[in-house]
Amino acid sequence: MAEQEDLERQLAKVLKNLPRPEKVIKLSEEAQNRLDEARNNPWWKTEGG
């Protein structure tokens, strides 16, 4: 059973080190905004092409 406890301890450690959900949501919102911006202003239009 020691192996089970070891795995649980490792899992707890990993979960503790994960970024908070709020942080992840904020990042994905930012990524979505950048995607929208890129869609609205494709590089071939902004590079003076």
What pLDDT does 21 receive?
Answer: 84
Residues in the chain, overall count: 49
* pTM, rounded to two decimals: 0.44
Structure tokens at 41: 């202003």
What pLDDT does 10 receive?
Answer: 94
d(CA 24, CA 9): 24
* Segments making up each domain of the chain, as ranges: 19-49
What pLDDT does 47 receive?
Answer: 64
What pLDDT does 18 receive?
Answer: 84
Burial per residue of 4-28, b for 16 or more beta-carbon CB atoms within 10 angstroms, e otherwise = eeeeeeeeeeeeeeeeeeeeeeeee
Its sign, for the CA torsion 19, 22, 27, 31, is: positive
Question: What are the pLDDT tens digits along the chain (49 aa)?
Answer: 789 999 999 999 998 988 888 888 898 999 999 999 999 987 777 666 4
What pLDDT does 43 receive?
Answer: 77
